[in-house]
Amino acid sequence: MARIGILGRRGLSRLAGLRSVPGIEIGAFYDPETAAQDEARRQGLETFARSEAEAIESSDGVVVGTPMHLHADQVIRVLQAGRHVDSEVTAAVSLEECLRIAEAARSAPTGYFFAENYVYFPENLIVEALVRQGRFGSLTYGGADYVHDVRGLAVRADGTRTWRADWQYAALGNTYITHELGPLMTWFRAADPDIRIESVACQGNGAHAGAGLTDHDSTTTLIRLTGGPLLVIRLDLSSPRPHRATFEVQGRTGCYDSREPGIWMGEDIYAYHADFHRGWHPVRDHLDAVPSGLRAEIAEAEGAGHHGSDWFTGRRFGQMVLGERPAEIGLFEAMEWTVAGLLTARSLAAGGAPVSMEDWVYDLPRGGR
């Protein structure tokens, strides 16, 4: 039996997944806002801590679902209290914070789980399974877009600023890269466990949103992997348009493109001037590539937040705390993906020049995927 405490409203997204794990009990919730406490009550929580320390003290593991700039210090306090921790994305807002988290997590006897939920989109899990089976051949290119106009969450109607204005819209570069980089690196590493990020380069299109939001509306990041593959990632949190999150991966014998019907395996080799839609299949047609246990979990997660992925992060954290699984997405992945995002600011400051990846990341213990 293990008890999980929750810091911050976003941590409530883990409830369904945590409740799916026999032996997990939901412990105390701490969020200073009354609206968040009311939401927790609606979701069946009964125990409310009066402070962060009280929530940590009464738990075996703690979900940190607070604003980004609080993650590092809170995660470190949880680890130093000898509890397991689940961190929301991104792991931290500076390289210095990343180094401190890595040091605390390495010396802690407890586990660090990084809740990068986009890895657990059903489509992304199916693509990962196909990559593991070698169905795309060697991977050469990956792309992802995260376009989400959340200006309204950064500046309130009365003009006051929230944490997002200061941390997501003011720190230059791709300040929210893990949703895209997480699935892409998971696929490339499924094909080649030793692959690394070599360099990060970033360009932006200027800040047009006004209201004191000083980061570029749109950034494009080029990530060079060892051996040559290229990742291209767009982040746009400011342009007035509907939300879009897309993924693609290209291999030598096939590809996945979420903007198309899904998977193309080259069965109609060379579609030039032919029917451009020939050979595409919905990615769900390949569900049987996923191991049966995981397939059953995908079915159970159906309907949960973010295409079921929130259920997975709660479940995997609960299983890690009970010792049933290693952290599937752990310290190494959290640091690799977060650090790459932070390096985009350094590249922008250098006029878009590629900057080398921080090597220390590659000494960290890998997650258990």
Ligand X SMILES: NC(=O)c1ccc[n+]([C@@H]2O[C@H](COP(=O)([O-])OP(=O)(O)OC[C@H]3O[C@@H](n4cnc5c(N)ncnc54)[C@H](O)[C@@H]3O)[C@@H](O)[C@H]2O)c1
List interacting residues with ligand X (CB under 6 A): 7-10, 30-33, 36, 52, 65-68, 70, 88-89, 117, 162, 306
Under 8 Å between Cβ of 343 and 181: no
Give the nearest distance from C-beta 341 to ligand X in angstroms: 12
Cβ nearer to ligand X, comparing 237 with 289: 237
Instruction: Give burial (CB, 10 Å; 0-12/13-18/19+) of 283.
Output: buried
Cβ nearer to ligand X, comparing 286 with 307: 307
Cβ nearer to ligand X, comparing 9 with 295: 9
Cβ nearer to ligand X, comparing 262 with 341: 341
Within 13 Å and on the Cβ side, how many CA atoms surround 203? 6
Among 200, 252, 204, smallest CA distance to 358 is for 200
Cβ nearer to ligand X, comparing 79 with 265: 79
Cβ nearer to ligand X, comparing 12 with 320: 12
> For 164-167, which contacts have Cβ atoms below 8 Å and span 24 or more sequence positions?
164/67, 165/211, 165/212, 165/213, 166/69, 167/67, 167/68, 167/69, 167/93
- φ/ψ of 145, rounded to 5, equals -125, 140
Cβ nearer to ligand X, comparing 113 with 136: 113
Cβ nearer to ligand X, comparing 319 with 338: 338
Give the nearest distance from C-beta 303 to ligand X in angstroms: 16
Give the nearest distance from C-beta 71 to ligand X in angstroms: 6
- φ/ψ of 143, rounded to 5, equals -145, 150
Give the nearest distance from C-beta 166 to ligand X in angstroms: 12
What's the rounded Cα separation, in Å, for the pair 37 and 39? 5
Give the nearest distance from C-beta 308 to ligand X in angstroms: 12
Give the nearest distance from C-beta 220 to ligand X in angstroms: 21
Under 8 Å between Cβ of 71 and 94: no
Helix (H/G/I), strand (E/B), else coil: 201: strand
Instruction: Give burial (CB, 10 Å; 0-12/13-18/19+) of 329.
Output: buried
Give the nearest distance from C-beta 270 to ligand X in angstroms: 39
**CA angle, corner 88, sides to 230 and 65, nearest 5?**
160
132's tokens: 């593991």
Give the nearest distance from C-beta 367 to ligand X in angstroms: 17
262's tokens: 């899904």
> For 152-161, which contacts have Cβ atoms below 8 Å and span 24 or more sequence positions?
154/211, 154/213, 154/237, 155/211, 155/212, 155/213, 159/211, 161/212
